[in-house]
Amino acid sequence: MSGEMRKIGILGGTFNPIHTGHLLLAEYALDAGLSEIWFIPTGQSYMKDEKTVLPGEDRLKMVELAVADNPRFSCLDLEIRREGDTYTCETLEQLKAMYPEDEFYFLAGTDCLDTIHTWKGPERIFACCTLLVALRGETPKEWMEQKKQALEAAFGARIQWLPFLRLSISSTEVRERVNCGKSIRYLTPDKVVYYIEEKGFYREKGNRRCGTDA
C-alpha cells in the first residue's frame, strides 16, 4: 500500500493451538473498522509453562493454516524467530519502526486490563498502539472503566472497547479434547484439525484424565 494509513489489529497469542474464538475475535475487529489483522504467535514466554507449549514452528504452522483463506488476515513469525523471551513492547516497537505510517491496535481480553501494568514496558506498549479490549459480557463495566482510567493516567494509554461474544472456547479445551480422543471439529478450522491429527499433537500417552461422556 502506498502512503495510505492502515489500522492494523495485532492479535498476539500462544496459539497452542489457534481456535475459532481467536478467528472470530479478529473478524469482529475487522468489522469494527480495522483494515487487517496480523496474528503473531509468541516465541519463548517467561510467563508460560513451556512443557505444555508446542515449539514455535508448530504453532506458527497452525496459525498459517487457519488464516490462509482470509485475505485480510496474516501471520507474522517475528516473535518465533526472536532469541530469548518474547516481550510485546519489543514487537510493537519493531512494527512501528517498520511501518511508521500505520496505526496499531493490540487486541486482548478484559483480563489484560488487570495485568498489562506487570508486563515489560507498559509505557512502551502504549506509545505504539491502542489497546482494543474484547468485551465478553462477564466483566462489570464500572471495574473496566476504573482500570481504563488508571492505565490512561499511569501510562498515557489509549483504550477502546470491542463488543464481542461470550465464547468459552479455549486452547486448553482443544488440547484436552484431543488428549481424550474427542472431536475438535468446528473448534478450529478443518486444516488445523487435520494437521493436529497428522502430527499427533496434544496426545499425552498414558495421561488421559477424561471425564465421562455427556
User: Which stretches of the chain bind ligand NAP, using CB under 6 A?
Assistant: 12-15, 21-22, 25, 42, 47, 86-88, 108-109, 111, 119-120, 134, 167, 169-171
**Least distance (Å) between residue 101 CB and ligand NAP:** 23
- What is the C-alpha separation between 118 and 123, in angstroms, rounded? 11
**Least distance (Å) between residue 32 CB and ligand NAP:** 14
CA atoms lying within 13 Å on the CB side of residue 189: 16
CB-based contact 4:36 (threshold 8 Å) = no
Smaller CB separation from ligand NAP, 25 or 196: 25
> Of how many residues is the chain composed?
214
**Least distance (Å) between residue 148 CB and ligand NAP:** 16
Smaller CB separation from ligand NAP, 4 or 89: 89
- Buried b vs exposed e over 161-193: b needs ≥16 C-beta within 10 Å? bbebeeeebebeebbbbbbeeeebeebbbeebb
Q: What grid cell was written down for 67?
A: 488464516
**Least distance (Å) between residue 169 CB and ligand NAP:** 4
Smaller CB separation from ligand NAP, 46 or 194: 46
Smaller CB separation from ligand NAP, 5 or 157: 157
